[in-house]
A = this chain, B = another copy of it.
């Protein structure tokens, strides 16, 4: 069984489009919130990552949409990882609607770079250990 971090948020009126559903661009924002919440819940933070000299730009994103999300839904974003390699990592996401239906699945792949030189940098042990328990077996 896998550990998945659960992040809950309520959809905002400004996130709804003319079809009265959450606009696709906001899913990427939910993913970002969910993975920063996962990191924060494990005693690390994006701010600290930056202070430690790292950045994690996204190299690839995929989303599969299953069911639309509406205004004012309390959604749950399940976040875990497929792998944490020396120079990259891959987050997996599932978003569930308030009624527990699957809304979306997706992933983001991130490179680990030196914040100043933009050169590839090895992921440090602090982040590796913060993420370890969320890696799928």
A positions within 8 Å CB-CB of B: 12-14, 16-20, 23-26, 28-29, 32-33, 36, 40, 45-47, 55, 57-65, 68, 71-72
- In whole Å, how far is A124's beta carbon from the nearest beta carbon of chain B? 19
**Which listed residue, B17, B25, B57, touches A16 by the CB 8 Å rule?**
B17
Q: How far is the CA of A28 from the CA of B36 in the complex (A)?
A: 21
Q: How far is the CA of A60 from the CA of B61 in the complex (A)?
A: 11
Contacts of A58 in B (CB 8 A): 24, 65
Greatest chain B CB density within 10 A among A13, A26, A45, A68 is at A13
Contact between A65 and B57, CB atoms less than 8 A apart: yes
**Which listed residue, B12, B47, B61, touches A61 by the CB 8 Å rule?**
B61
Contacts of A62 in B (CB 8 A): 60-63
Contacts of A23 in B (CB 8 A): 13-14
Contacts of A26 in B (CB 8 A): 25
Q: How far is the CA of A68 from the CA of B118 in the complex (A)?
A: 11
> What are 6 A-B pairs with beta-carbon distances under 8 A?
A13-B36, A16-B18, A36-B72, A47-B71, A59-B64, A60-B62
